[in-house]
Amino acid sequence: MNADQARLAGEPSANLDSELNKMDQKLLGSDENFSVGSIRNSELFKIDQSMVRDPRLADNLLYKKLIARLEAFYIQQEKFRKVGLTEA
């Protein structure tokens, strides 16, 4: 069974983190007019992240992955807002 079939069957992938990182890199890409650091330092991003932080779940792996995906989505949304559509 290949990785796609395992994913469709609901079996966990050993390379899930690397797959997520590849997707993030493909989605975020690199653009001269866009800085992830400036977004992470913005007040709106800090407020957004403070609303989803829960110290009781700090050791929960699924919670950590969820927070990472939400952050990636926020950054992607800001890139789209600032740069517009880009070719994938």
Q: Where are the domains of the chain?
A: 16-83
From residue 18, alpha-carbon distances to 11, 27, 33 in Å are: 16, 14, 26
Tokens of 54: 């829960």
Eight-class DSSP state of 11: P
**Alpha-carbon gap, residue 69 to 82, rounded angstroms:** 20
Full pLDDT tens readout for the chain, 88 residues = 455 555 555 555 556 777 766 666 665 555 556 678 888 888 888 888 888 888 898 899 999 998 889 888 888 888 888 777 766 5
Q: What pLDDT sits at residue 86?
A: 66
Q: What pLDDT sits at residue 61?
A: 92
Q: DSSP labels for 12-51?
A: PPTTHHHHHHHHHHHHH---TT--HHHHHTSHHHHHHHHH
